[in-house]
């Protein structure tokens, strides 16, 4: 597997976003503390704080002093839309080109997915 050229804080951000979207962290849920997530992921706490800060700036988490960061209402819906838009504009064109280049069709791809 090829290592992603993304900075660590963006990889962490993507991991947390996926957990919010898939319901691991539903709205109103407390996210792990910066230190706990850093220890779990083997990352620098400042790197985790940077990832969390972006969620805060985007209004996807709410900070409660003395408690921590809670997933904001509608965060999963908003993240899903953002992630879909990003996939369709940034990732899908390259994937589609590769599919065309390899001469694959939708039926063949769907058959491989389920079997």
Q: What is the mean pLDDT of residues 83-106?
A: 92
Name the percent of the chain lying above pLDDT 70. 94
Mean model confidence pLDDT for the chain: 90
- Position 1 scores a pLDDT of 45
Residue 48 contacts residue 13 (beta carbons within 8 Å): no
State the CATH class of domain 8-114.
Answer: mainly alpha
Confidence of residue 106 (pLDDT cuts 50, 70, 90): confident
Sign of CA dihedral 45, 48, 49, 50: positive
Statement: residue 112 has pLDDT above 80? no
Model confidence, pTM: 0.80
Domain range list for the chain:
8-114
Task: Evaluate the CA torsion angle 57, 63, 69, 74 in order and state its sign.
Answer: negative
pLDDT at 114: 58
């Amino acid at each position: 597997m090829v290592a992603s050229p993304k900075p660590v804080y963006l990889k962490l951000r993507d991991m947390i976003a996926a957990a919010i979207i898939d319901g691991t962290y539903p709205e109103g849920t407390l996210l792990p503390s910066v230190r706990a997530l850093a220890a779990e992921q083997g990352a620098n706490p400042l790197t985790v704080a940077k990832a969390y800060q972006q969620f805060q700036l985007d209004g996807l988490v709410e900070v409660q002093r003395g408690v921590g960061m809670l997933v904001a209402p509608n965060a999963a819906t908003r993240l899903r839309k953002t992630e879909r838009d990003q996939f369709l504009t940034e990732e899908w064109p390259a994937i589609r080109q590769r599919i065309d280049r390899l001469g694959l069709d939708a039926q063949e791809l769907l058959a491989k997915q389920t079997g």
